[in-house]
Amino acid sequence: MTCPKITEPDADKAVVRTSGKIFPDGSVLDLVRVPNGEINLVMWDRKCAKTATEFVRNGERYLPLRIGASIGRWLQLPHETADYNSTRELFTKISSLISQVTQAHRDVVDLITFLVFSTWLCDSLPSAPFLWIVTPPMTSAGPLAQVLTLLCRRAFAVNEASLAELHSLAVDLQPTLITEVFRPTPGLLNRLRTSIRRGELTATRGEIVDASCANVVFAREPLRDRASAGFPLELALSPTPDYIPRMSASKAEQIAAEYQAQLLHYRFLNLAKVHAPAFELSQFATPMQEIAYNLGACIVDDKELQAQLAALLKPADSEVRVECASLFTAIVVEVLLVRCHTATGKYFAVIDVCKDVNTVLRARGDVIELSPEKVGWILRALNLHTEFLPGGRKGLALSNAVRKEIHELALAYGVRTLRELPEKIECLHCAALSLPWKTQATATGSMQGEVENA
């Protein structure tokens, strides 16, 4: 509950303008909008919330960040804090609201709800939340964009042209930027990628700052290269036969007031409780592990709800694995893995790797061919160092250590042939990987000798 409003004036203290701060003892400062429209500070002392124009703490006077009128007018802020009973009850309320307003599929609605929670605790996460929502021509992004501006922490709905400027102007606010993108240029994707990285400093207004913030992007098409944008969670809206209007201004104001107050209370109570989710992160491909962590860690005191998230992320994880397995790097690793299982020699020339890679590409319908030089660079990027082989050609010496490294790379990239191995394969390296699909190895004495002598 909110405590009575107090003021603590002290003109002799050093002034700190802030949008919020987490103190070592667990106390939290944040921004609220009081009834007259002004922006004040609210202090959570681990027992109750106190609202004031300023607070004195550790010899410093904390005042609200100076926010320009053009930004302050549209900045979504809570007015107070309010009880929410339990994580599950608040999650269900938010999920039901999003479903009612958008008529989106249940799995999409629930993942968006996880995203809403993560925006309120994102300063305790390794990276800022990032959601890429695909809206084909027969779908409407308007109702969902509206409800997200009402629910997410410090949300702004901005157009594509203003995105760069908002990243600069709102750097101290750490807002949630909600944007509709029509042309995802390399520059825009690079800006989005860097904006979600914690501790990645940016030069702006003559200062070096951490400009990270949460992002929700609505786009007509999926990302062709997820890595270029920093691997956001990608969801697609389905067409709806009925017209879905936006909420009226009065209804939107009511929704914002109710849910922002409860989510601010959730933030105060749970900032210190953010930690790795109960489910096993290693079940996901590497790019999905951070998404799973960010969304799951913000669901506090409800392991069952966290488990539901793990199931919801499986389709997206499968897509990422397919994309990773289709990369040129993954195909090079696949060729090397086959060589480990079929070759009796100790060497593999780069030019032979290149021939095999191009054979795989042609078999999969790709018209691109790699050069030996390109393959050499890929090997170097994989930390597989080439050397001059007998006869003067460059290639890999397939030592036991190199074979082991190739197997670990194959597992990391999810190469197809590793999944298609026979149930019983005499490869100690495969057996040592503890493959998720339980490949069984029957290591013979002769195989043991071959591996040790390789």
Q: pLDDT digit string (tens) for 392-408? A: 889 999 988 999 999 98
Q: Report, as an integer, the average pLDDT of 202-212.
A: 68
- Asked if residue 406 and residue 295 are part of one domain, the reply reads no
Question: Considering the domain boundaries, does residue 164 fall inside one?
Answer: yes
What proportion of the chain, given as a percentage, has pLDDT over 70? 86
Centre a 10 Å sphere on the Cβ of residue 58 and count the other Cβ atoms it contains: 10
Question: Considering the domain boundaries, does residue 346 fall inside one?
Answer: yes
Separation CA 43–CA 421 (nearest Å) = 59
Question: Considering the domain boundaries, does residue 80 fall inside one?
Answer: no
Q: Which residues contact 423 (CB under 8 A, 6 or more apart)?
A: 439, 440
Question: Considering the domain boundaries, does residue 236 fall inside one?
Answer: yes
Residue 294 · residue 118 · CB < 8 Å: yes
Element housing 28 (H / E): strand 28-33
Distance of CA 37 to the CA centre of its chain: 34
Token code pair at residue 206: 């003559």
Phi, psi of 37 (to 5 degrees): 95, -10
- Asked if residue 364 and residue 249 are part of one domain, the reply reads no
Domain's final residue, options 272, 289, 320: 320
Q: Report, as an integer, the average pLDDT of 154-178.
A: 79
Cα dihedral value 106, 111, 113, 117, nearest 10: 160
Look at residue 370 in the predicted model and tell me its pLDDT.
92
Separation CA 230–CA 253 (nearest Å) = 33
- Asked if residue 146 and residue 281 are part of one domain, the reply reads yes
Residue 33 · residue 78 · CB < 8 Å: yes
Look at residue 301 in the predicted model and tell me its pLDDT.
93
- Asked if residue 426 and residue 376 are part of one domain, the reply reads yes
Residue 82 · residue 262 · CB < 8 Å: yes
Token code pair at residue 211: 């400009």
Residue 166 above 70 pLDDT?
A: no
Which range among 200-204, 273-277, 368-372, 384-388 shows the weakest confidence by mean pLDDT? 200-204
What is the reported pTM? Answer: 0.80
Give the CA count within 13 Å in the CB-facing half-sphere of 204: 17
- Which segment, 275-289, 295-309, 312-326, 427-441, is predicted with the most confidence on average? 295-309
State the pLDDT confidence band at 192, using cuts at 50, 70 and 90.
Answer: confident
Q: pLDDT digit string (tens) for 364-373? A: 887 788 999 9
- Asked if residue 168 and residue 284 are part of one domain, the reply reads yes
- Asked if residue 297 and residue 207 are part of one domain, the reply reads yes
Q: Are strands 214-219 and 176-181 parallel, antiparallel or unpaired?
A: parallel
Cα Rg of the chain (Å, integer): 26
Token code pair at residue 83: 């009880």
Q: Report, as an integer, the average pLDDT of 367-386.
A: 91
Look at residue 6 in the predicted model and tell me its pLDDT.
41
Question: Considering the domain boundaries, does residue 75 fall inside one?
Answer: no
- Asked if residue 440 and residue 292 are part of one domain, the reply reads no
Q: Report, as an integer, the average pLDDT of 123-137.
A: 92
- Asked if residue 268 and residue 332 are part of one domain, the reply reads no
Residue 247 above 90 pLDDT?
A: yes
- Asked if residue 122 and residue 58 are part of one domain, the reply reads no
Look at residue 311 in the predicted model and tell me its pLDDT.
95
Residue 394 · residue 388 · CB < 8 Å: yes
Look at residue 342 in the predicted model and tell me its pLDDT.
79
Look at residue 296 in the predicted model and tell me its pLDDT.
97
Separation CA 284–CA 316 (nearest Å) = 10
Look at residue 116 in the predicted model and tell me its pLDDT.
98
Whole-angstrom CA distances from 118 to 127, 214, 293, 388 are: 10, 9, 10, 52
Give the CA count within 13 Å in the CB-facing half-sphere of 175: 26
Residue listed under structure tokens 């802020």: 77
Report the candidate in 88, 111, 37, 79 with the shortest Cα–Cα distance to residue 316.
111
Q: Report, as an integer, the average pLDDT of 190-213.
A: 75
**Helix, coil or strand: residue 222:** coil
Question: Considering the domain boundaries, does residue 408 fall inside one?
Answer: yes
Distance of CA 348 to the CA centre of its chain: 38
Strands (E), 266-350: 347-349
- Asked if residue 191 and residue 173 are part of one domain, the reply reads yes
Cα dihedral value 210, 211, 212, 215, nearest 10: 180
- Asked if residue 129 and residue 103 are part of one domain, the reply reads yes
Strands (E), 315-374: 347-349
Look at residue 243 in the predicted model and tell me its pLDDT.
85
Element housing 396 (H / E): strand 394-397
Separation CA 378–CA 392 (nearest Å) = 21
Centre a 10 Å sphere on the Cβ of residue 428 and count the other Cβ atoms it contains: 20
Q: Are strands 347-349 and 233-236 parallel, antiparallel or unpaired?
A: unpaired
Q: Report, as an integer, the average pLDDT of 67-86.
A: 89
State the pLDDT confidence band at 269, using cuts at 50, 70 and 90.
Answer: very high
What proportion of the chain, given as a percentage, has pLDDT over 90? 53
Question: Considering the domain boundaries, does residue 34 fall inside one?
Answer: yes
Domain extent for 446: 326-453
Question: Considering the domain boundaries, does residue 124 fall inside one?
Answer: yes
- Asked if residue 254 and residue 387 are part of one domain, the reply reads no
State the pLDDT confidence band at 413, using cuts at 50, 70 and 90.
Answer: confident
Q: Report, as an integer, the average pLDDT of 171-181.
A: 87
User: What is the number of structural domains in the chain?
Assistant: 3
